[in-house]
Amino acid sequence: MDTLLQEMADRITNLFDQTFATLIERRDSRYASEIAPLDTEREALLREDEAIQEATANLAKTLPARARQASREADVLLLAGKNEEAEKKLAEAQEAERAPAAIAAQRGEISARVAVLDEEKRAIARRIFGEWYSDVQHVIRPAEHGLFIVLLDGFQSSFSEFQNQTATGPDAWGRTPGLFNQSHISGLAAAEQSAEGQAGRRWYGGRVG
């Protein structure tokens, strides 16, 4: 292959490589940009939940004793006639008893919010994929037109045109073959056993007919 043809082939290959890379980067960067604030909030919630778990483990050992101690102190204060202070101590005891339920409720709220964030991320992914898929179709259609209509169909037609122009077609009795034959046409595309041939059969095999 001479230099000009090699350069043309390289440009076509590079164009497809660059187009693919650009479209993938476009999709991934849009998704990453939109979910960034959601991920930031999600990570903060998970850190908060982890801290609550650690605090819960420590409190579980001391809360029952703190509740009993506050209750005992309240009894002492009641016997001493210090009703207001006794009520405060009783409130402390009740708060200690309610702490596990309050902690569980807080963790439940965190878990629910994380679930909402995850669903928002999935919704963003679905929307971005739909928009991006349309972009991909708009790029692939011209590429299909260029390969099948302009190049393959165009060159096949040009074979006949050149044969007619040069009077190199087969004679009326079939003793002299024409300038080109079916192998020239089928040889334009990659062989069936090649990677390109297998991909073409996979993509278009079920769509012919």
pLDDT in tens, 20-60: 999 999 999 999 999 999 999 999 999 999 888 877 766 66
Residue 150 inside a domain? The answer is yes
45, part of any domain = yes
Residue 7 counted as domain residue: yes
207 in any annotated domain:
no
Q: How many domains does the chain have?
A: 1
Asked whether 89 and 70 are in contact (CB, 8 A), the reply is yes
Global pTM value? 0.72
Residue 79 resides in a domain: yes
Name the DSSP letter for residue 151.
I
Token couple for 129: 């994929």
Q: Output the six-digit token pair for 1.
A: 């292959």
* Percentage of residues in the chain having pLDDT higher than 70: 85
> Is 114 part of any domain?
yes
Is 184 within the bounds of a domain?
Answer: no
Of 173, 172, 169, 146, nearest in space to 159 by CA: 169
Residue with tokens 């479209």: 23
Average pLDDT over residues 52-81: 70
Q: Give residue 174's pLDDT.
A: 72
Average pLDDT, the chain: 87
Q: Cα separations (Å) of 66 from 74, 84, 92?
A: 12, 19, 9
Beta strands in the chain (DSSP E): none
Residue 45: name the closest of 101, 90, 108, 94 by CA: 108
Q: Tell me which residue range forms the domain holding 145.
A: 3-167
Of 48, 61, 67, the closest CA to residue 106 belongs to 48
